Amino acid sequence: DVKVTQSSRYLVKRTGEKVFLECVQDMDHENMFWYRQDPGLGLRLIYFSYDVKMKEKGDIPEGYSVSREKKERFSLILESASTNQTSMYLCASSLLSHTAFDQPQHFGDGTRLSIL
Amino acid sequence: DAKTTQPTSMDCAEGRAANLPCNHSTISGNEYVYWYRQIHSQGPQYIIHGLKNNETNEMASLIITEDRKSSTLILPHATLRDTAVYYCIVRASGSGYALNFGKGTSLLVTP
């Protein structure tokens, strides 16, 4: 089974701090994703990466950056945390699709981040 | 991505089959039907996907009508651990990476 592991289930940080969320996958997937999930707003894509050192902005990249130095690891960085970044953060991975359908995305269990 | 419509909630007795419907009447010929679920306090979990033929895996079966305008996810022997929100998504390859979950169906499996 695909295993996507996020470094923390719960995290509490203060406004203005630089926050790092780590994600590791063990299935040699090319694609990795960071989403945030908020009640009533559903899942929103922050960034994704299709290869080492490659990244693309998603729908809500403002206030975030990412790093992918190794294929299995994708980090989300909150440059200067703010209270409106309090959310559930979900990492996902998938194979690169060479077929007519999108490869399914496999998710970690999420990090519930609170910014005080 | 085509719009989908799912019931807000459903109940199912443990051990019985859970049949979760999804309407996608505007589906295009190149769009696949995907099902994910999210158990409380966990990340979403991929279940199954299909184009037009019925599909089965170790988790569930997917039945797609001949006109492809609706589908049903079947959990053959529901357990308490199947209590979750189930999301039906219709999308084509290359339609963007972001998964857009609607409101889904909240399935409650009762003893």
- Give the pLDDT score at B1: 63
Q: Are the Cβ atoms of B93 and A99 closer than 8 angstroms?
A: yes
Q: Has residue A37 got a pLDDT over 90?
A: yes
Q: Has residue B81 got a pLDDT over 80?
A: yes
Q: Has residue A59 got a pLDDT over 80?
A: yes
- Give the pLDDT score at A75: 97
Chain B residues with CB under 8 Å of A90 CB are 43-44
- Give the pLDDT score at A101: 65
**Which residue of chain B has the CA closest to A103?**
B93
Q: Has residue B84 got a pLDDT over 70?
A: yes
- Give the pLDDT score at A1: 66
- Buried b vs exposed e over B58-70: b needs ≥16 C-beta within 10 Å? eebbbbbeeebeb
- Give the pLDDT score at A115: 97
- Give the pLDDT score at A49: 94
Quick: pLDDT tens for A6-27: 999 999 999 999 999 999 999 9
Give the confidence band of A100 by pLDDT, cuts at 50, 70, 90: low
Quick: pLDDT tens for A72-85: 999 999 999 999 99
Q: Are the Cβ atoms of A109 and B49 closer than 8 angstroms?
A: no
Average pLDDT over residues A48-65: 93
Quick: pLDDT tens for B21-65: 999 999 988 889 999 999 998 999 999 999 998 999 999 999 999
**Which residue of chain B has the CA closest to A39?**
B103
First to last CA, chain A: 36
Q: How far is B13 from chain A (nearest CA, A)?
A: 27
